[in-house]
Amino acid sequence: MLIFQVMRHSPESCPLGSPKNLDTAIQWFENLEASTARQGIKVIGVWTDRAGHISYAIFDTPSMEAFTKFETDPENIPMLTFNTIEKTVVTSAAETLAFFKARRA
């Protein structure tokens, strides 16, 4: 299951203007692979629009339960103090096409 995640913070809470948030963001990025691996989750990629104060990530997770455990891991909670998080389950174009075709019959 693929999860598309959007993390946003305000210009006022930007890590570049807050030493505490900067330390939190650095720690989150440094620990991301290990934190997700503990739940059997693979990080497909993380991209950041620094000027827009938005980060995008795609995760391949075995279940929503595993993803919830990752999100609520004590290592990840500090990122919630200055970011809002949106997540959406997504499918590839090939998976969507196969889904549509299966319903046409």
Helix or strand run (H / E) with residue 90 = strand 84-90
Provide the Cα torsion 24, 28, 29, 33; round to 10°. 170
Using CA atoms, how far apart are residues 74 and 40, in angstroms rounded to an integer? 17
Give the SS3 label for residue 77: helix
Parse the chain into domains and list their residue ranges.
2-104
Using CA atoms, how far apart are residues 32 and 79, in angstroms rounded to an integer? 12
Give the architecture (CATH level 2) of 2-104: 2-Layer Sandwich (3.30)
Q: 59-97: per-residue pLDDT in tens? A: 999 999 999 999 999 999 999 999 999 999 999 999 999
- pTM equals 0.88
